[in-house]
Amino acid sequence: DTAVSQTPKYLVTQMGNDKSIKCEQNLGHDTMYWYKQDSKKFLKIMFSYNNKELIINETVPNRFSPKSPDKAHLNLHINSLELGDSAVYFCASSQQTGPYEQYFGPGTRLTVT
Amino acid sequence: GNSVTQMEGPVTLSEEAFLTINCTYTATGYPSLFWYVQYPGEGLQLLLKATKADDKGSNKGFEATYRKETTSFHLEKGSVQVSDSAVYFCALITASGGYNKLIFGAGTRLAVHP
């Protein structure tokens, strides 16, 4: 059984388009995250949600809008895609906020042409 | 601010060699420390963790000890295998950051040859 799943796994699109990435966790966790991994493998937090409430927005452009319809889902919508948005996006979840293990999804590789 | 510094890769070793990947951190308060591993084409998996000074995390033959005096959390394995080839990330989480985010090092790529 997949703990944290993301769709799609690959996303190729043109500049200016709007796209969404979906994330679901079946672990019963309260907290979910979005991370961005750039071409040099550097990972950085984008957003964190706890019980459907946004608790971290790490200076991400407002073209990125996360939405959490319930505790098990955290989707990422990106408007007006730019070349610099090309990266791998990882969703993660943890039991709650704190020094707990974060479980990562398989990632979505976004390529903007 | 809080940060993690890892040794640059790639690290290339022969099978059964000894592995050390250095990790040092800067943090306010008392962070919890983690090593995550990313195999090719996959997401990150927790390898091991330590939550207080002098704790030793261990898993799959890998070990790391939380050294507060040197602010380090170096990853070691006595005998690497080809299947250990991956990117390894050192990370921390702190209460001063609201425990809301992992802060990662830049990652170290390990390549093990037969």
Question: Which residues from chain B sit within 8 angstroms of residue A103, using beta carbons?
Answer: 46
Nearest to A101 among B46, B99, B107 (CB): B46
Q: Which of residues 34-93 of B touch A (CB under 8 A)?
A: 34, 36, 38, 42-46, 49, 51, 87, 89, 93
φ, ψ at A100 (rounded to 5°): -105, 155
pLDDT of residue A58: 83
Supply the DSSP string of B15-68, one letter for each residue: TT--EEE-EEEE-SS--EEEEEEE-TTS-EEEEEEE-STT-EEEETTEEEE-BT
**Mean predicted confidence (pLDDT) in B47-58:** 95
SS3 A84: helix
**Mean predicted confidence (pLDDT) in B36-54:** 93
Residue labelled with tokens 């990266």: A87
Nearest to B44 among A90, A97, A99 (CB): A90
SS3 A83: helix
pLDDT of residue B83: 96
Q: Which residue of A has its CA nearest to B101?
A: A45
Q: How confident is the model at residue B24 (pLDDT cuts 50, 70, 90)?
A: very high
Cβ pair A49, A35 in contact under 8 A: no
Distance (Å, rounded) from C-alpha A40 to C-alpha A2? 27
pLDDT of residue B98: 63
What string of pLDDT tens digits covers the 113 residues of chain A?
679 999 999 999 999 999 999 999 999 999 999 999 999 889 999 999 988 888 888 878 999 999 999 999 999 999 999 999 999 999 999 998 777 889 999 999 999 99
Report the phi/psi class of residue B49: left, alpha or beta, with left for phi > 0 and alpha for psi in -120 to 50. Answer: beta
Strands B32-38 and B86-93: antiparallel
Cβ pair B25, B71 in contact under 8 A: yes
**Mean predicted confidence (pLDDT) in B24-32:** 89
Model confidence pLDDT, tens digit, residues B83-99 = 999 999 999 998 765 66
